Structures are given as C-alpha cells and as structure tokens.
Amino acid sequence: MRVDGTPPFISIANLSKEYLNDKQVIRGLSLAAASGEFVSVLGASGCGKSTLLKMIAGLSSISGGSIQIGGMNPKDARDVMSFVFQDPTLLPWRTVAGNVELALEFEGLPKTSRVGRIDSVLKLVGLSDVSAYYPRQLSGGMKMRVSIARALATTPRLLLMDEPFGALDEMTRNRLNEELLALKDAQRWTTLFVTHSISEAVFLSDRIILMSGNPGKVHEEFAIPLPMARTAALRSEPAFLSLVGQISRALAAIPP
C-alpha cells in the first residue's frame, strides 16, 4: 500500500519457484509496483529474473506465494498485459502490419476493427512507412519496434520486457530507450524491465530492484530520483553517473 493509500498495481508476496529436481530458482521474493511505475530488475545470470517475468505473465507455474496484478491472478490478468522478449520473434512470412495484427487476432478483435488499431500503433512507433515490409527487410532496431508495436496493439496496462534491447548496438539501444520512455509517457502502462545494463536501468527507471541468486530473491532496491523528462544529455550528467556507479558497486557486492 502506498503512502496515499492506493494499492499497488503489482503485488508479489513470498514467491517461490522450484523444478521437479527440487532445484529452487526463486524463494521468498516479495515486491510491489504502483500503476504507471517503471521498475527495472538487475542481477547476475541465473538469479531468476526471466523466471520472475514468466511467472507474472502466467507462462510458468508458481510453487508458492502469490502474484496479484490489478487484483487478479496472472491467468485472469492476461488480457491486461503484454510481453516483449529479447528476440523480436517476428513471423518471416508476415509483413510488419501482419505481425502486429497477430496480437489482435489472438485477442479476438474483429478484422474490421484491426486496421485502425494497427495504423495507430505503427504510427506511434514510427513504422507507418514500412508497414508492408517483411522482417528480412528491417534492421535490428526496426524489428524490435515491430515487437513493441505488437505488444502495444492490445493496449496493455502492464508491459513485461525481458532484455528487449540486449542484442542491439549501443547507439540503437540508447535511441530505443528514449523512444520507450516517450511511449510510456503517452500510454502510462506499468513496466517491469529485465536488463543486464546498469546505465539502461538507471536511464529508464523510477526504481531498480537488485536480485541475488541461489535461489533468487530481492537483495536491494534503489529509487531513481532523476527528472521525469530524460534525454540523451542525461547520460553525461553527474547525478546519472553517480547512480550508475552506486548501483554497480552494490551489484558487484552481492554474493555469488
């Protein structure tokens, strides 16, 4: 519960995940996120970051604890969330518009209602001019924009992002970070964002969660008290660099 009495949009309590071989991936993990908040999750490989997102999305079962999204369990909340993976996972035989339309087909939206939604979301991500292109004709950054457009086509309240920019060059990654924040400001979804990049997490986030592993749990949290309007120039500001250094040291100090 926030200070103003508003319940969190995401509420996770004492979450655990173990596999059939009794290996625990996550144990006793609790966190909350307010509506409209951008929360990044950092941690070493194997600490359970991606598993956490998959459990929130209902793609992986929960061994213990609870997850509530807008007062619903993950299965019931599927209609209010979208997932963006590291690989854009575009269908090569479909055009840009056709790949975005796929999400609307799964949602059951009538075909007559899809065109306007597709046009709107492609305009939002700056891809209107390439709507008839196929994935093979796109750059890596453009493919990721298609993936984001597909996720946004269903007008989600929660966006789960699992290292979506990890395979891109730094220049493209930075540009997409800026575009993502502009989209969030326009649509106000809540975001859980997994990344290995500390500077990316600081640039994007309202709050950063550090996870420790074996098994995974919340180790530490950092509020990011930077201006809401974030531009490329912020990355060279002393306050930004100080936060990156502080979180780098905290992450390095987490026991393996």
Q: Where are the alpha helices (DSSP H) in 65-108?
A: 96-107
Pairing of strands 10-18, 24-33: antiparallel
Residue 223 lies in a domain: yes
Nearest Cα neighbor of 147 from 157, 40, 163, 224 is 163
Local structure of residue 64 (DSSP, 8 states):
E
Residue 195 lies in a domain: yes
Residue 87 lies in a domain: yes
CATH number where 27 lies = 3.40.50.300
Q: What's the pLDDT band for 108 if we cut at 50, 70, 90?
A: confident
Q: Is the pTM of this model over 0.85?
A: yes
Residue 219 lies in a domain: yes
* pLDDT reported for residue 91: 96
Q: Where are the alpha helices (DSSP H) in 71-168?
A: 96-107, 111-124, 140-152
* pLDDT reported for residue 113: 85
Mean pLDDT confidence for 104-109: 85
* pLDDT reported for residue 190: 96
pLDDT tens digit sequence for 3-40: 455 789 999 999 999 987 778 899 999 999 999 999 99
* 165: pLDDT strictly greater than 80: yes
Range of the domain at 57: 10-252
Cα gap 147→157, rounded to integer Å: 17
| Phi and psi torsions of 246, nearest 5° | -60, -45
* 209: pLDDT strictly greater than 60: yes
* pLDDT reported for residue 167: 84
Buried b (16+ CB within 10 A) or exposed e, 211-229: bbbebbbbbeebebebeee
What domain count does the chain have? 1
Residue 201 lies in a domain: yes
* 240: pLDDT strictly greater than 70: yes
* pLDDT reported for residue 16: 95
Cβ proximity of 124 and 186 under 8 Å = yes
Residue 63 lies in a domain: yes
| Tokens standing for residue 144 | 């990721």
Cβ proximity of 130 and 41 under 8 Å = no
Q: Report the chain's C-alpha Rg in angstroms.
A: 18
Distance of CA 56 to the CA centre of its chain: 11
* pLDDT reported for residue 4: 52
* pLDDT reported for residue 253: 94
Cβ proximity of 67 and 15 under 8 Å = yes
Residue 1 lies in a domain: no
Residue 70 lies in a domain: yes
pLDDT tens digit sequence for 52-99: 999 999 999 999 999 999 999 999 999 999 999 989 999 999 999 999
* 141: pLDDT strictly greater than 50: yes
